[in-house]
């Protein structure tokens, strides 16, 4: 049984239910046709900004790659998991979760900081980084090496303790539609004005996304560098900056816990002004933590040049500077969702096992129950139900 079939049994009252069903193979074609007719077909491309011109063309078009979100690599070419070889506990866990989610992952060995000679670090004050931070940076750069060498079009990177909602494919499908709306060339003038130039707060309701040219290569659009999908904080750009403050607003997302359960993910406090169960998709600034992100071939090359070769930083601050165009780096097209869709799972037991980077940071406490922040229908906490085909899923953050 696929996630989508499981999810299809869940009562969703909004339009996203359509997309949950779309994944079940039998209906896929029907929905696809509906979607094409709904969107219209690109006639004269991005330069066509005449107001609501009728759509006349109906010649053959390429299949909409948006539905590739439902493939075994979530619409990316590969999914890599970074993991220290001896963390067999985490490897066991993520391999099982991926199998139960119908996702293909490939594990790549993380690098131990002790094994990274100081002289390879491209930074005059290299000594200020902890060994583990150096190892983490190197682990991510080794992935970039592989992406560049194999010319992979896009990849998703997960850290080995990642957990996700069993409805991840539906979440990413919605994210993909939102990402397209923000970054693909517009087919028509959108009532809210030009999304790329807007300097003021600009809510784009998910139910009324602007029509765009369909992407040809990636379900997430053909223009992005990085998708920050697992983070411990990210913010909508400030109106004073050089990028759009436009954000797609998804109300009543059943996978989003009420705001008071979101402490860890409200760093920018952008969700604070929206009702409970709201999800936002927007240009990413001030990102933190690298639980999961996706990067394109072009992005990997740029990142290698900037954070790999020119100037090292810890990988999360490196990515932040690289996205935001700070610390002398060029800015890049990075998108994020709040709250994040990938989160670190926390096992029951001693908290110092939480991080391979800084064991002291997580304290000496003992956690009584396993948990994953933000993720409502945690895959890990629902293994048993998934294995047995049951549908009474554990919801970590029920409303009451």
**Which residues of this chain interact with ligand NAG, rule CB under 6 A?**
65, 68, 71-73, 75, 77, 151, 153, 218
CB of 218 to ligand NAG, least distance (A): 6
Core vs surface per residue 220-236: b (16+ CB within 10 A) or e = bbbbbbbbbbbbbbbbb
Going by their DSSP bridges, the two strands 334-338 and 279-283 should be labelled as antiparallel
Q: How far apart are CB 154 and ligand NAG at their closest, in Å?
A: 7
CB of 108 to ligand NAG, least distance (A): 18
Q: Which is nearer to ligand NAG, 24 or 71 (CB)?
A: 71
Quick one: 77 or 395, whose CB is closer to ligand NAG? 77
Tell me which residue has its CB nearest to ligand NAG. 68
Q: Which is nearer to ligand NAG, 215 or 254 (CB)?
A: 215
- Report DSSP state, residue 69: G
Please report the DSSP string for 246-271 in residue order. EEEEETT-TTSPPGGG-GGG-TT-GG
Q: What is the CA radius of gyration of the chain?
A: 21
Both tokens assigned to 240: 């004073």
State in angstroms the smallest separation of the CB of 385 from ligand NAG: 26
Contact between 72 and 47 under an 8 Å Cβ cutoff? The reply is no
What span, in angstroms and rounded, lies between the C-alpha atoms of 311 and 182?
30
Give me the least distance between CB of 162 and ligand NAG, in Å please: 19
Minimum distance, C-beta of residue 6 to ligand NAG, in the bound complex (Å): 20
How many whole angstroms separate alpha carbon 179 and alpha carbon 158? 20
On whether the CB atoms of residues 236 and 283 are closer than 8 A, the answer is yes
Planar angle of CA 191, 286, 137, nearest 5 degrees: 130
Please tell me the distance from the alpha carbon of residue 396 to that of residue 382, in angstroms, as a whole number: 10
Question: With respect to ligand NAG, which residue has the nearer C-beta, 65 or 284?
Answer: 65
Pick between residue 184 and residue 313 the one whose CB is nearest to ligand NAG.
Answer: 184
| For residue 339, cis peptide bond before it (omega within 30 degrees of 0) | yes
The residue (of 184 and 382) whose beta carbon lies closer to ligand NAG is 184
Minimum distance, C-beta of residue 150 to ligand NAG, in the bound complex (Å): 9
Distance CA 118, CA 259 (A): 44
Nearer to ligand NAG, 49 or 301 (CB): 301
> Nearer to ligand NAG by C-beta: 142 or 153?
153
H/E run at residue 91: helix 88-100
If the CB atoms of residues 213 and 262 are measured against ligand NAG, the closer one turns out to be 213
175, 248 Cβ separation under 8 angstroms: no
- Strand order through the sheet with 106-109: 106-109, 78-83, 154-159, 292-296, 226-230, 334-338, 279-283, 246-250, 202-205
Q: Report the nearest approach of ligand NAG to the CB of residue 73 (Å).
A: 4
User: Smallest distance, Å, CB 139 to ligand NAG?
Assistant: 23
Nearest distance in Å: CB 71, ligand NAG: 4
Nearer to ligand NAG by Cβ, of 75 and 308: the residue is: 75
**Rounded to 5 degrees, what angle do the CA atoms 300, 233, 198 make?**
75
């Amino acid at each position: 049984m696929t996630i989508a079939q499981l999810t299809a049994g869940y009562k969703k009252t909004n339009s996203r239910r359509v997309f949950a069903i779309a994944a079940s193979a039998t209906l896929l074609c029907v929905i696809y046709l509906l979607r094409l007719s709904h969107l219209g077909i690109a006639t004269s491309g991005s330069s066509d900004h005449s107001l609501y011109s009728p759509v006349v063309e109906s010649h053959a078009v390429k299949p909409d790659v948006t539905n590739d979100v439902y493939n075994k690599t979530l619409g990316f070419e590969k999914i890599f998991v970074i993991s220290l070889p001896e963390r067999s506990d985490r490897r066991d866990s993520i391999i099982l979760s991926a199998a139960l989610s119908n996702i293909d992952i490939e594990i790549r060995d993380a690098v131990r900081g002790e094994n990274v000679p100081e002289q390879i670090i491209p930074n005059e004050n290299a000594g200020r980084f902890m060994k583990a931070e150096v190892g983490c940076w190197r682990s991510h750069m080794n992935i970039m090496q592989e992406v560049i060498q194999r010319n992979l079009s896009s990849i998703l990177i997960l850290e080995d303790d990642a957990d996700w909602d069993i409805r991840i494919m539906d979440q990413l499908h919605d994210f993909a539609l939102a990402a397209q709306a923000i970054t693909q060339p517009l087919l028509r003038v959108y009532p809210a004005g030009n999304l790329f130039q807007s300097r003021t707060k600009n809510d784009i309701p998910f139910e009324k996304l602007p029509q765009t040219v369909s992407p040809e290569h990636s379900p997430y659009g053909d223009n992005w560098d990085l998708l920050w999908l697992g983070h411990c904080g990210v913010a909508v750009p400030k109106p004073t900056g050089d990028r759009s403050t436009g954000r797609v607003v998804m109300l009543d997302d059943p996978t989003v816990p009420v705001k008071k359960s979101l402490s860890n993910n409200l760093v920018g406090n952008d969700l604070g002004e929206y009702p409970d169960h709201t999800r936002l998709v927007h240009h990413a600034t001030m990102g933190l933590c690298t639980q999961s992100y996706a990067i394109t071939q072009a992005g990997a090359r740029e990142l290698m040049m900037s954070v790999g070769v020119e100037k090292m930083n810890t990988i999360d601050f490196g990515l932040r500077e690289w996205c935001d165009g700070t610390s002398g780096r060029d800015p890049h097209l990075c998108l994020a969702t709040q709250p994040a869709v990938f989160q670190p799972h926390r096992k029951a037991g001693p908290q110092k096992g939480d991080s391979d980077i800084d064991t002291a940071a997580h304290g000496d406490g003992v956690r009584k129950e396993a948990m994953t922040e933000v993720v409502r229908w945690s895959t890990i906490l629902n293994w048993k139900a998934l294995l047995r085909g049951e549908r009474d899923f554990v919801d970590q953050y029920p409303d009451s």
